[in-house]
Amino acid sequence: MPQEYDAIIIGAGLNSLACAAHLGAKGWRVAVFEQAATPGGAVKTLELTAPGFRHDWAAMNLSLFAGSAFFKAYGEDLGRYGLAFAPASHCFASVFDDGKWFGVSTGAGETRARIAAFSEADAETWDRLCGEFPGTAEIIFALLGNPMQMHVQGRLLAKTLFRKGFSWTAELVRLLLSSPRQFLTETFQSEHIRTTLAAWGMHLDFAPDMAGGAVFPYLESMANQHFGMVIGQGGADTVTRAVVAKIEADGGEIHCGKRVSKVLREGGKAIGIELDDGTQIKARKAVIANVAPGGLMDLLEGQSGDETFDGKMRGFSHAPGTMMIHLALDGLPDWSASEELKQFAYVHIAPLLDQMARTYQQAKAGLLPDEPVLVVGQPTVVDPSRAPEGKHTLWVQVRMVPGEIKADAGGEITSTDWAEVKEIYADRAIAIIERHAPGLAQKIIHRTVVSPLDLQADNPNLVGGDQIAGSHHLSQNFLFRPALGHATGKTPIDGLHLTGASVWPGAGTGAGSGYMLAQKLGGK
């Protein structure tokens, strides 16, 4: 292994790989060092239950990647290296304790008809939102797809004011600042519609009453209605494998099972890294760390030389954790509300806004929620290749749970050790699914439960099982992600850059922070 490269990237998550791919395409010699056995971070697929059953470890939805600037630039190349998507036209649904359900599909009139069954006024509102979406999406996606720098975003604001006017722009800003409950209550009459859309906020640390969370239910509902959803053909790792192949074809290297212990510095400049075994490797142009802010401080042995920056990194706030349940099944769940639910990529079990709010507060307080929010992914509905013929996989996110357990809000579980608790708590989650899909337990061939601490052990960026690598609340988003003055990944150390989901534009599979950093360093 050469001991010097143009750029060294710490961590092999999707942002790292996008960064390495672009720099490699610009002629840089790049090496990526990853402590886990396989690259991809949260975007990898493994046989976690039984032979022939392929399970996405954490991320399943690849719609953000398919719509990303990185994919627009390199999609053709990645296709040659095996990237393939599986599109879903029945995107997401929710089931309710009263036996009703609602889901968003792309078919002409399907979603509207379901809404009209609850409220004709809401169906008319849906029509209006769909009509307005292309113009609104253009601005929001421009906001999310550009560096969070005042001159860049200032130009976007000026352009928006010129084209759309003050009132329209003010309403968009209000949407960006609103809580899910506020936006959805103002917009829809039906509690079923409000709750179905609000469940998306829980994917990104936005309980119903958290300011700044409205935009995510809005974008997910509208984007799924207009474009559908995509997952990876054969598994989410189709992305990881294709990007790795491109990196290696351009002369880059991926080294797994190599933990970086510190960043080497000389005269206030990052010059390389040191591995756990003491090996030192030099970087001629840049060291790029795809780590959580706390992990960055570990690599810097506690100090960057700028006390203000260090304090911000140590004070970075993480979201509550997630527990994953991976099931190999004899058949799909028999959803009692409707057979149609067997067609959906996702089924949310989050029946009430107040329940979501309570679940979030319980997890933040260190309590195992008595009624967790469940995101039930049915990937083999969209992509049968992930399981043997006639069999299925179920991908269940249990949101939210505490990384450190203090007690059980349900009063039933006495242990506070996740190694003991995870199987017991998985039983609680399965029982909740069974209320809406009786007989599920009898269909289970094998299950694997991944606790928040298991997620963190595999990927230290997921602190306490925080799958989004840091809260997206307003005080830690936009200009403040991860901290004011550092939303581009800039650090006080010359040649050292931060990337990943902890950096603007945050979590998801869009590879935004890695690609934007690579463009900044290597040119567009």
Q: What is the CATH number of domain 4-49+57-85+235-317+466-522?
A: 3.50.50.60
Question: Would you tell me how many other CB atoms lie within 10 Å of the CB of residue 340?
Answer: 15
Q: What does the chain come to in residues?
A: 524
pLDDT in tens, 430-475: 999 999 999 999 999 999 999 999 999 999 999 999 999 999 999 9
pTM, full prediction: 0.96
pLDDT > 80? residue 1:
no
pLDDT > 80? residue 2:
no
Give the rounded distance of the alpha carbon of 210 from its chain centre.
18
pLDDT > 80? residue 520:
yes
CA 81, CA 29: separation in Å to the nearest integer? 20
pLDDT in tens, 399-442: 999 999 999 999 999 999 999 999 999 999 999 999 999 999 99
Angle between helices 120-144 and 166-177 (to 10 degrees): 90
Non-local CB neighbours of 108 within 8 Å, separated by 6+ positions: none
> CB–CB of 243/154 below 8 Å?
no
Residue 150's pLDDT is 85
Residue 68's pLDDT is 97
pLDDT in tens, 9-23: 999 999 999 999 999
> CB–CB of 239/230 below 8 Å?
no
Q: What is the mean pLDDT of residues 110-132?
A: 97
Residue 3's pLDDT is 85
Question: Would you tell me how many other CB atoms lie within 10 Å of the CB of residue 523?
Answer: 10
CA 378, CA 326: separation in Å to the nearest integer? 11
pLDDT in tens, 286-327: 999 999 999 999 999 999 999 999 999 999 999 999 999 999
